[in-house]
Amino acid sequence: MTEPVILFDPYPRSRELIFREGQWERLQAMGRVVGHEGGRMPGDMVDTYLPETVAVIGQTDLPAGRLDRAPHLKAILNVEGNFLPTVDYDICFRRGIHVLAAAPAFARPVAECALAFALDLARRITFSDRAFRQGREQYGLEGNREGFSLSGSPVGLIGFGNLARALLPLLAPFRCHIRVFDPWLPDGFIREHHCEPVALDDLLRQSRVIFILAAVTAENEGFIGEREFSLIPKGSAVLLMSRAAVVDFPVFVRFVREGHFVAATDVFPEEPVPADDPLRDVEGLLLSAHRTAGVRDAFYRIGDMVIDDLGLILQGLPPLRMQAARRETAARYKSKPGRSYEKKGR
Amino acid sequence: MTEPVILFDPYPRSRELIFREGQWERLQAMGRVVGHEGGRMPGDMVDTYLPETVAVIGQTDLPAGRLDRAPHLKAILNVEGNFLPTVDYDICFRRGIHVLAAAPAFARPVAECALAFALDLARRITFSDRAFRQGREQYGLEGNREGFSLSGSPVGLIGFGNLARALLPLLAPFRCHIRVFDPWLPDGFIREHHCEPVALDDLLRQSRVIFILAAVTAENEGFIGEREFSLIPKGSAVLLMSRAAVVDFPVFVRFVREGHFVAATDVFPEEPVPADDPLRDVEGLLLSAHRTAGVRDAFYRIGDMVIDDLGLILQGLPPLRMQAARRETAARYKSKPGRSYEKKGR
Amino acid sequence: MTEPVILFDPYPRSRELIFREGQWERLQAMGRVVGHEGGRMPGDMVDTYLPETVAVIGQTDLPAGRLDRAPHLKAILNVEGNFLPTVDYDICFRRGIHVLAAAPAFARPVAECALAFALDLARRITFSDRAFRQGREQYGLEGNREGFSLSGSPVGLIGFGNLARALLPLLAPFRCHIRVFDPWLPDGFIREHHCEPVALDDLLRQSRVIFILAAVTAENEGFIGEREFSLIPKGSAVLLMSRAAVVDFPVFVRFVREGHFVAATDVFPEEPVPADDPLRDVEGLLLSAHRTAGVRDAFYRIGDMVIDDLGLILQGLPPLRMQAARRETAARYKSKPGRSYEKKGR
Amino acid sequence: MTEPVILFDPYPRSRELIFREGQWERLQAMGRVVGHEGGRMPGDMVDTYLPETVAVIGQTDLPAGRLDRAPHLKAILNVEGNFLPTVDYDICFRRGIHVLAAAPAFARPVAECALAFALDLARRITFSDRAFRQGREQYGLEGNREGFSLSGSPVGLIGFGNLARALLPLLAPFRCHIRVFDPWLPDGFIREHHCEPVALDDLLRQSRVIFILAAVTAENEGFIGEREFSLIPKGSAVLLMSRAAVVDFPVFVRFVREGHFVAATDVFPEEPVPADDPLRDVEGLLLSAHRTAGVRDAFYRIGDMVIDDLGLILQGLPPLRMQAARRETAARYKSKPGRSYEKKGR
């Protein structure tokens, strides 16, 4: 083999988006970088280079046929936050090709927003600003009739992946009792993080602030619906941070509209949300346009992780910073590829 | 002396507001409680009981003449957040009468809101919700053009009293470098809290998030004005949490209106704010109607502190939970008495 | 008055012991420093300067007669860790003279040792080193038959002053349930620190690691004796950090000798301990020669605190860093003056 | 296949050692458990059951020939702390058989001891107890001539695996600047943990407390020797926690004997240490007989992890709690099998 090739096919990301100063040079020092931007790399270009390729950075289609043409391939480093169905995972696992996603880059900014939303709903911050602009603000105790302190309030986390674990240290100073529901995790693991593992219904009944953080899988679509929402105590706050599809979205909005609980959502069944969607006027709903993950630094962090992990792999060491696809779960995730505001997995 | 009297004169607070279940009974077990609610206790009623009074709970006028009539008085426990000019402090200090205020009850809820405001401004949460309702939301990275992460951003605290110290643990997980300006405190004290003591101008020039937490004194009215605001880097976030009078308020609002920085304020030169105040329409300003302190639990905490500290004093022990007036500073505070939404001191 | 005088009478401390570079110059910039070292300042020298003195740094005798000769006196800054009976406290309180002690300088180093002792006893570190030197070490699990993890073990704190509060953050990562007994403190204050207030007997019965941190007062001498020690579960660890006089010391040593619990002590009824004291051979006792407080930096911290607090007082502000004598408790402490290894108060 | 078999071959561990109440029953509910204790499972017994075996718990020899006979095998769960050379890792990786080790069960107790040793050496605790027993104790400041506070001292970590990461939260309240040397890790990963990545020589030159936590690999035997030890500042403290083979052990002991630094070691080139080894008398050396890992609870934690991870694997989910062998590093570790006091890997 001549100089090993690194295929750089980051669309819908770009080199400029993910690499801070100096990182592109670091990448080039690792091999011959063959790149394409502004769209998916053309198929024949991919095919030409695969025989010498050691790593693919991006969301290139890599079915069995192509993997067979890439005998030196060691790693596929996705620069989005999810594992996509465009790779033949079985072959990768058998051959020991690392398949990595950039989800951890987004955990911290999303966690920061999750805490912000929780405080906003608990203390009625956005609602009070709106009331003030409409001339109907209330002062002091009067202005707190409906709010509550996050400090000491019982919290529930639905899903306990990257995002939940990035949220825990931010919640720590508020000394909340934290209940967790995650059917993929043993109780002991949850307890090691000083949280209480519970059944979903118990979590819903006992929490004042509920964070929905679960990724969508084939099995959990819409698993929080009418029955589940009705278990939540009146006056609670519900935050939908991961994917709209894990809840029955119209029912979720109805509960907010009827004042059962207040809520925040960063995700919607259809994005962009239609201009005339009545959701835009629901009083108790804090609206966020799929923007909790996408801060500038998160994209640079993707680049940092790619450089670090690729560097390790090419030195014969295991990657550390990105999320590794695992045999058991890779096939279960149901995220759709390619929207520029796509978001963190579980 | 017959049974010692505890004068209970909490207006504009009330028994129901500050005492949770069981506390009133605890108070009664400490002495003969003589109370008046719904207004200030009538002067002759005060005068009648002073000779047997050991403690006053409330904001009763206690000039020299009255203190002279109260030879057994051991404590004056203010149930508001400030020291008021209605007590002859010199006499109290000389006689060892404890003068206590309830400010610490409010430090935690205000700190919680201060963090919420900082996250809100950094991540543009309320502004984005408003844009969404107006049909002009932007998704993903586009929706983050102007925001930034609080994590790792340089923070400045102006004033380092109760409130700042309640805020520090909430900020800790964000790993910000924290600069502090407080002319009343030695550098060593600030460094013990792992913050950097700096001059005001350096703080203003180097912080991305600035919390104004200083109490108003005779000397610091309007000490942050045109010159100071112009030192703040463009795109920063400024939070006014303590008193409107510490800034040149019209200039503050102008800087926000002109887009120099975004800001949040919980306090206003005139409250309630006039219905037609143009401030209500300033885009980059998060409006809060003097409501960060007044959560339900904070009032119960006042009652808890009163019971605990009065209990200690009557046992011959020093009080611990309320803020004690100090000879040097009692006269300097300039807060006005008696508004029901009055707020925490420094 | 001519230039205000600062009397510097630090014996048994010295200028070199407590001041780091630059601090002596800072002190001199505050007034005319009149000092004496190597012994107590001669009485006539004190008397000569008192009329112009604004502050006394040290343990100078200051009975009523002398205080009367010092009309400008604003502060007495003790450079030891305790309040001594050599000052007429009543007059000081009446006149508003600050009486300050350096106890907080020692809280951190003592807390560090308290944690070290707890880990040492729990994990049998010193005992195992001794066994190793005697050729009777045991490897692996065998060597852990008697030890236990501090992590998660129930902890009891007897006394909840400066020292206990400096210890809490060091214990935090071990996630122990912490019970506190302190008869001078209301339960609410203890709960604010996330500990459980309990009666002494409950603490003794339920703790695996017991820290004795209480100062000696007229009322509590020997309050932990035969009956109390017998409540402690077998195999626990007991740490005596404050004063030997709070326990029945011979009984304490007997319990250790008989193997009821292991223990560490930094204090002894007689110091230096007699050469032939049989205590030197007790197997389960970790011996420390009143040395947990006296690290080099703690003495510099005394100097820092003195400079900071004196600076504040001379500017007309209240002191912040040293411990202030309080009317109610000043007279109760029973520490003896003048030993160079004297130690922190409560 | 008939009922799936779980081979239980834990020697030198035992069922009683690793399973708390109820866990054995949980294991039996997962399949047909075929066990052997008191020695390695006989070869023919292993061979008989392999065709139906889904999981092996223990250190059974599993070369290629045996793996070929076990078509349903999904997991090998080692109940020691290291990956042993008795398994054909390549085949396992290819087939997706999880190979897991119990190292994480030991990280916490070893970290607890590492902190204890650091405090012991910094504050001279064991040395002072020894001096006290020999009648040469020194009181107060005199007794601290050689010690120092851990708080604020510069710390160096050599190796940044499980153990280092379990140590970080315990060190956090001491506010030390922490430098890390780990040639297997990118700088960004170390910085994410708020430590400074440095070259080995810089770490040695700049640290007052040095923790040696690196696992032994083919490449790093004796990598800390004469040259490296001489870079360490006089009066520092060195802790050898991982494996004796990473240092030039005789040189290490000589530096301690000559008073260059004080040290603690939990590991020795030969264990048990010979009765007449002169090391037993080295004054500045804290001796620990390979006992930091082996607390009772750590063994129960092995059982908990085995049950949790096997449960996940049999449900078709990835394991979470044990350490997974990785293609790149499995072959590099050089630990020897089978000593009952064997210890945590990196």
CATH 3.40.50.150 fits B107-287, yes or no: no
In the predicted model, is pLDDT for residue D1 greater than 60?
no
C327 contacts B318? CB cut-off 8 A: yes
Q: Which residues of chain A have pLDDT under 70?
A: 1, 331, 333-346
Which of chain B's residues have a Cβ under 8 Å away from the Cβ of A125? 113, 116-117, 120, 126, 286, 288
pLDDT of res. B344: 36
B327 contacts C318? CB cut-off 8 A: yes
D318 contacts A189? CB cut-off 8 A: no
Tracing tokens 């959560």 back to the chain, one arrives at B295
Count the neighbouring beta carbons within 10 Å of the beta carbon of residue A284.
Answer: 19
Query: How much is the mean pLDDT over chain A?
Result: 93
In the predicted model, is pLDDT for residue B44 greater than 90?
yes
In terms of CA atoms, which chain A residue is nearest residue B271?
A139
What is the mean predicted confidence (pLDDT) over D263-272? 97
Q: Which chains touch C (3 or more CB pairs under 8 A)?
A: B, D
CA distance A154 to chain D (A): 25
Q: Which chains touch A (3 or more CB pairs under 8 A)?
A: B, D
**Are D5-103+296-324 and D106-287 equal in CATH topology?**
yes
D188 contacts A308? CB cut-off 8 A: yes
The closest CB to that of D184, out of A93, A317, A328, belongs to: A317
Q: Which residue has the higher pLDDT, D335 or A242?
A: A242
Over residues D171-208, the pLDDT tens digits come to 999 999 999 999 999 999 999 999 999 999 999 999 99
The closest CB to that of D189, out of A94, A185, A308, belongs to: A308
C294 contacts D143? CB cut-off 8 A: yes
Task: Give chain A's end-to-end CA distance (angstroms, integer).
Answer: 38
B112 contacts A116? CB cut-off 8 A: no
Q: Which chains touch D (3 or more CB pairs under 8 A)?
A: A, C
In the predicted model, is pLDDT for residue B336 greater than 80?
no
* Residue of C125, C176, C265 to mutate, testing the D interface (most D Cβ within 10 Å of its Cβ): C125
- 3-class DSSP state for residue D191? helix
Half-sphere exposure of A77 (CA within 13 A, CB side): 31
In terms of CA atoms, which chain C residue is nearest residue B324?
C318
Query: What CATH fold (topology level) applies to the domain C5-103+296-324?
Result: Rossmann fold (3.40.50)
Distance CA(B132)–CA(B125), nearest Å, equals 11
Which of chain C's residues have a Cβ under 8 Å away from the Cβ of B192? 321
Over residues B45-65, the pLDDT tens digits come to 999 999 999 999 999 999 999
Q: Which chains touch B (3 or more CB pairs under 8 A)?
A: A, C
The residue extents of the domains of chain A are 5-103+296-324, 107-287
- Write the secondary structure of C126-171 as one string of H (helix), E (strand) and C (coil): HHHHHHHHCCCCCCHHHHHCCCCCCCCCCEEEECCCHHHHHHHHHH
Over residues B286-333, the pLDDT tens digits come to 999 999 999 999 999 999 999 999 999 999 999 999 999 999 887 676
CA distance A95 to chain B (A): 35
The closest CB to that of D329, out of A309, A311, A318, belongs to: A318
D296 contacts C139? CB cut-off 8 A: no
Which of chain D's residues have a Cβ under 8 Å away from the Cβ of A184? 312, 317
D328 contacts A318? CB cut-off 8 A: yes
Over residues C93-140, the pLDDT tens digits come to 999 999 999 999 999 999 999 999 999 999 999 999 999 999 999 999
CA distance C96 to chain B (A): 7
Distance CA(A139)–CA(A143), nearest Å, equals 5
C135 contacts D275? CB cut-off 8 A: yes
D144 contacts C123? CB cut-off 8 A: no
pLDDT of res. B342: 35
Distance of CA A194 to the CA centre of its chain: 23
CA distance A338 to chain D (A): 27
Q: What is the DSSP letter of C46?
A: H
What is the mean predicted confidence (pLDDT) over D159-180? 97
CA distance C53 to chain D (A): 31
Verdict on whether the full-model pTM lies above 0.90: yes
Cβ atoms of D307 and D203 within 8 Å: the answer is no
In the predicted model, is pLDDT for residue B171 greater than 90?
yes
* Residue of A13, A82, A130, A137 to mutate, testing the B interface (most B Cβ within 10 Å of its Cβ): A137
CA distance B128 to chain A (A): 6
Which of chain A's residues have a Cβ under 8 Å away from the Cβ of B170? 173-174
Decide which of 3.30.360.10, 3.40.50.720, 2.50.20.10, 3.30.1330.10 is the CATH code for C106-287. 3.40.50.720
CA distance D316 to chain C (A): 33
pLDDT (tens, 9 = 90+) of chain C, 346 residues, equals 578 999 999 999 999 999 999 999 999 999 999 999 999 999 999 999 999 999 999 999 999 999 999 999 999 999 988 888 899 999 999 999 999 999 999 999 999 999 999 999 999 999 999 999 999 999 999 999 999 999 999 999 999 999 999 999 999 999 999 999 999 999 999 999 999 999 999 999 999 999 999 988 778 889 999 999 999 999 999 999 999 999 999 999 999 999 999 999 999 999 999 999 999 999 999 999 999 999 999 999 999 999 999 999 999 999 999 999 999 887 676 554 433 333 333 3
Which of chain A's residues have a Cβ under 8 Å away from the Cβ of D305? 188
Distance CA(D345)–CA(D215), nearest Å, equals 6
* Residue of C20, C90, C92, C189 to mutate, testing the B interface (most B Cβ within 10 Å of its Cβ): C189
C173 contacts D294? CB cut-off 8 A: no
pLDDT of res. D339: 39
The b-or-e profile of A39-70 (16+ CB within 10 A means b, else e) is ebbeeebbeebbebbbbbbbbbbbeeebbebb
Distance CA(C242)–CA(C237), nearest Å, equals 16
The closest CB to that of D289, out of C143, C147, C174, belongs to: C143
pLDDT of res. B1: 55
In terms of CA atoms, which chain B residue is nearest residue A125?
B288
In terms of CA atoms, which chain C residue is nearest residue D141?
C294
Banded pLDDT at B218 (limits 50, 70, 90): confident
Q: Which residues contact C313 (CB under 8 A, 6 or more apart)?
A: C55, C74, C75, C98, C319
Cβ atoms of C241 and C114 within 8 Å: the answer is yes
B126 contacts A129? CB cut-off 8 A: yes
Cβ atoms of C346 and C214 within 8 Å: the answer is yes
Cβ atoms of C126 and D126 within 8 Å: the answer is yes
Which of chain C's residues have a Cβ under 8 Å away from the Cβ of B184? 312, 317
Which of chain C's residues have a Cβ under 8 Å away from the Cβ of D294? 140-141, 143-144
pLDDT of res. A283: 96
A321 contacts D189? CB cut-off 8 A: yes
CA distance D78 to chain A (A): 19
Count the neighbouring beta carbons within 10 Å of the beta carbon of residue B275.
Answer: 8
Query: How much is the mean pLDDT over chain B?
Result: 93
What is the mean predicted confidence (pLDDT) over B12-35? 97
Count the neighbouring beta carbons within 10 Å of the beta carbon of residue B38.
Answer: 7
Q: Which residues contact B171 (CB under 8 A, 6 or more apart)?
A: B115, B155, B178
Q: Which residue has the higher pLDDT, D140 or D330?
A: D140
What is the mean predicted confidence (pLDDT) over B232-251? 97
Q: Taking each helix axis as running N to C, give the angle between helix C125-133 and helix D125-133, from 0 to 180 degrees, rounded to the nearest 10.
A: 60
Tracing tokens 């601290």 back to the chain, one arrives at D144
Cβ atoms of D4 and D32 within 8 Å: the answer is yes
